[in-house]
Amino acid sequence: MRKEELEQLIRKDIPFLVIDRILYLDHARVPFISSDDYVGAKEGMEHLFEQGYQRIAHVKGKGLYHYMDLLF
């Protein structure tokens, strides 16, 4: 969603929130929900280990942002 569209929602007092993004607008605080990727991956791996899986691979595509590619 473009900045102009978000500002229009704010001007019209339409409730909204953003998922897995933090947005900064000059004059408004934008509500958001985010997930903890580290905790989710850890809990997922623990579950697989508890189920007896031992050979587990991590498959990923190109990151949305450059820094995401640097993490691996």
Report how far apart, in Å, the C-alpha atoms of 49 and of each of 13, 18, 40, 44, 53 are.
Answer: 48, 33, 14, 9, 5
Amino acid at the residue 26: D
- Look at residue 65 in the predicted model and tell me its pLDDT: 60
**Domain ranges across the chain:** 3-70
Q: Supply the pTM of this predicted model.
A: 0.49
In the chain, what are the helix, strand and coil shares in percent, each to the nearest 5? 40, 10, 55
Q: What is the mean pLDDT of each run of 10 residues along the chain (72 residues)?
A: 83 85 70 84 93 86 61 58
- Look at residue 69 in the predicted model and tell me its pLDDT: 60
